[in-house]
Structure 1
Amino acid sequence: MRIKAIGVFTVLVLGLMATPAQASAWPGDSAIRTADGSNVFGKNLSGLSFESANTLWAVKNSPATLYRLTPSGSAWQIAQSRALSFADGQGDPDAEGVVSTPDGLFVVSERDNDDEDVSAPTVLKYGTQSTAEQQWALPGMPETDPNEGPEGIAWVPDTFLTAQSFKDDTGKLYNPADYANHGSGLVAVGLEATGEIYLYALQSTAKLIAKFASGQKQVMELEFDGTRLWATCDDHCGGRATTFTISGGKFKLTNTYDRPSKLPNLNLEGFAISPSCINGKRTAIWSDDDNTDKHALRSGTLDCPA
């Protein structure tokens, strides 16, 4: 969610951040179009994730709402929506990010909107109902302003991690069998306040596996495209994106990209990449938390991996 006031913690963190790396041009077309109808979502649309080329999930952070979107011409329309609650059936999760995975649908929340002065970093798993099927408190994060907590979430499959000889923060080679009942991958969570990325195995509790810097002063969204992990920022960072691959067992920054030249510098809190490659291009979609000009979704293209 957009920072309405800069607290002492934020000032200290931003003052310690390194100067951002020189950015390259967006690796796709510069053209951008609106991808929703007029005033369909209003404000607070925060997270996006493709389930397939024809199914896009989105979450609103207040009031907590989950949307399943399907294409209609050049736009995305609401096929289904539902309000969200925590696993006890209560509260209003500040749902900032969503990711569709083979293990289910996961939402990251930074607090309960009904108790907005208390930080509560949480991942929630949803089935077909409004009430979360499971939820996990996220350990290992620093104390932050309640409105500067986890903003983005992505899922990285175990098959990718093991093929790339990923190591945890102790230097131990990652072995999925060491984390019983965690599913088939790790969830990556981006922390707005520091720009750090945290990798968790979701067992009966969330186990922190690794953390690393995103290369940006803030993180608003995470996305794994099959070969790279993306971390994106909003207008506080000029809409830039950083990408990571695994090298020497660790996630290492590979590129920093400017937003597409025709994409305005908006409060872009959501970002998703279509799994489908057509004529060398993949669809990229951003969500604008401010619903600028009565549109919350904007679409462009990204070059397919070589």
Structure 2
Amino acid sequence: MSLADTQCAWTTTTGPEGRDVSGLAFDPSDPDVLYAVKNKSWVFRLVPQDGLWVPDTSNGWGAGKEIFFPGSDDPQTNQPDTEGLTVGPDGALYVTTERNNQKNDVPLNSVLRFDPTQTGTTLVATDQWDLTSEFPELHAGNKTEANLGFEGVAFVPDSYLTANGFVDESTGTTYRPADYPGHGSGLFFAGLENDGKLYGYALDADHTYHRVAVVDTGMGHVMDVQFDASTQRIWALCDNTCGVASTVLKVSTTGAIVPEVTYAKPAGLPVDNLEGFAVAPASTCADGTREVLWSDDGIYGTGPGSAGEGHALYSGRISCDLGLGDQGVPPGPAAWDATKVYDAGDRVSYDGAVFEALWWTSGEKPGASATGAWAEIATAADGTAAWTASRVFDAGDVVVYQGRTFKAQWWTRNQAPGGVGGPWSEIVAVAPGTVPAWSAATVYVGGERVTYGGHVYQAQWWTSGEQPGAPYGPWKLVD
């Protein structure tokens, strides 16, 4: 473990101390380029020199570049509190923010896109995805909560997710990039300091977004996130609140992203406010190890006069082969062949999904029709069947659809759950010993109880879609 920068290398007009570096990311196209984001609106491009990482002096990078929200380069109104960054497939820098520096008690959890090839000493974001509304638990007017938003961020390629059968939590089925045509070639996973979870989003070109997953890292806080192409894993870092631990995450056999192993900090690394983390690309491996970097978001390290005072970067080594096991959903059936004859019960894979033949078929493309020979077979992360339009369900079958659970009342195909009077009855989750809330999509029989409007009602006869409380209706007020 060693210091990896010169003292006070990151001094800026908005933060004169030589530390306060919050996020790190290697450039996937050049292992000799490391980007660092400083808390108060600065990005640095670093290159190796005499065993240290120093500012690149080309293209205006010598003293770092001051960064701004889209629209202007006014430092009084438009500067982000910058926390983490990743390099996208387009070579752009994607930076997370918690707030506007001029409104430090108002959450502004965003992902900003910057073009690092832009000349000059300032960078104005070309795009912004404002995800603040996704986290209502972080209240405006509370400075502490406003400082518990987005920290690190990692771009995770679709190729990794689809190869391992990653499940889209918003649909309960295997993730299909084609469902998000404007999102590019991967998802962005942002770490929320408040709860230690990663939030995966498809960020569309029109600045809309769609949440695809929430990942519990098992740590109380997350300060940085990185996708490591070498080990095909996602890394999450926690700071001194967790003893500077790092957790490796994988895609499980059910398609969920889960913690795999947690590494304690190496000997010699101080238990400081370390908020940046980066693992060097596999191409840098030497004698079986490669470099790992941490950055310090504090000012004085372990105290004034300590060895780390005025330094931000620490360097260590990690084995290139971590000996991690397999990951992902077990391989599915063989790919569909247009020339092959299939009988009822045969299964094939096509366009990232699994289909089962309902009768003899040949040449019919799976998924071409919701009432054709092929039924799409999908499973939610908990093992429950996921509803698909082409699958046949019999009375009693239970499915997950749009995050809700339903039971079939009779044979059905190509009828989506959730309507009133159809073949599906919603199963409302309820804690043991409590009465479930009324659902318009649930079928009730005489004697069943529900809560509605703060009261308990009992069904007097079979009913569906009729709200409790109406006079002369099927519901009797009991409490």
TM range (shorter): 0.7 to 0.9
Q: Deviations over 1:167-192 (max 9, x none)?
A: 11132111111111211111110000
Could you tell me which amino acid in structure 2 is paired with residue 165 of structure 1? G
Candidates 255, 261, 283, aligned match of 1:255: 261
Following superposition of structure 1 onto structure 2, how do residues 1-306 of structure 1 map, counting pairs within 5 Å?
Answer: 32-41=1-10, 42-51=18-27, 52-62=30-40, 64-79=41-56, 80=61, 81-89=64-72, 90=74, 91-103=78-90, 104-127=92-115, 128-129=117-118, 130-138=123-131, 139-144=133-138, 145-169=145-169, 170-203=171-204, 204=206, 205-226=208-229, 227-247=232-252, 248-275=254-281, 276-291=284-299, 292=301, 293-305=309-321, 306=323
Between Structure 1 and Structure 2, the one with more strand by share is: 1
In the alignment, is the contact (CA less than 8 A) between 2:158 and 2:177 conserved in 1? Answer: yes
SS state at 2:194 partner: coil
Which runs of at least 4 in structure 1 moved beyond 3 Å after TM superposition?
Answer: none
In the alignment, is the contact (CA less than 8 A) between 1:140 and 1:208 conserved in 2? Answer: no
Identity of aligned residues (%): 42
In the alignment, is the contact (CA less than 8 A) between 1:97 and 1:107 conserved in 2? Answer: yes
Deviates most, 141-150 or 295-304 = 141-150
Pick the structure with greater CA Rg: 2
SS state at 1:177 partner: helix
Between Structure 1 and Structure 2, the one with more helix by share is: 1
SS state at 2:96 partner: strand
In the comparison of the two structures, how many residue pairs are matched?
274
* CA distance in 2: counterparts of 1:279 and 1:198, whole angstroms: 36
* CA distance in 2: counterparts of 1:142 and 1:231, whole angstroms: 23
* CA distance in 2: counterparts of 1:177 and 1:264, whole angstroms: 45
Q: Deviations over 1:14-49 (max 9, x none)?
A: xxxxxxxxxxxxxxxxxx000000111213210000
* CA distance in 2: counterparts of 1:43 and 1:118, whole angstroms: 25
In the alignment, is the contact (CA less than 8 A) between 1:99 and 1:155 conserved in 2? Answer: yes
CA drift at 1:142: 4.2
* CA distance in 1: counterparts of 2:109 and 2:151, whole angstroms: 9
CA drift at 1:245: 0.5
TM-score for both structures, normalised by structure 1: 0.87
TM-score for both structures, normalised by structure 2: 0.56
* CA distance in 2: counterparts of 1:44 and 1:183, whole angstroms: 32
In the alignment, is the contact (CA less than 8 A) between 2:39 and 2:297 conserved in 1? Answer: no
In the alignment, is the contact (CA less than 8 A) between 1:220 and 1:233 conserved in 2? Answer: yes
Could you tell me which amino acid in structure 2 is paired with residue 141 of structure 1? F
Could you tell me which amino acid in structure 2 is paired with residue 94 of structure 1? D
In the alignment, is the contact (CA less than 8 A) between 2:223 and 2:237 conserved in 1? Answer: yes
In the alignment, is the contact (CA less than 8 A) between 1:66 and 1:82 conserved in 2? Answer: yes
SS state at 1:199 partner: strand
* CA distance in 2: counterparts of 1:33 and 1:142, whole angstroms: 41
In the alignment, is the contact (CA less than 8 A) between 2:217 and 2:258 conserved in 1? Answer: no
Relative contact order, higher structure (CA 8 A, sep 6+) = 1
* CA distance in 2: counterparts of 1:132 and 1:61, whole angstroms: 16
Structure 1: unaligned runs, 5 residues or longer: 1-31
Q: Deviations over 1:134-171 (max 9, x none)?
A: 01012533422111101110111010001001111132
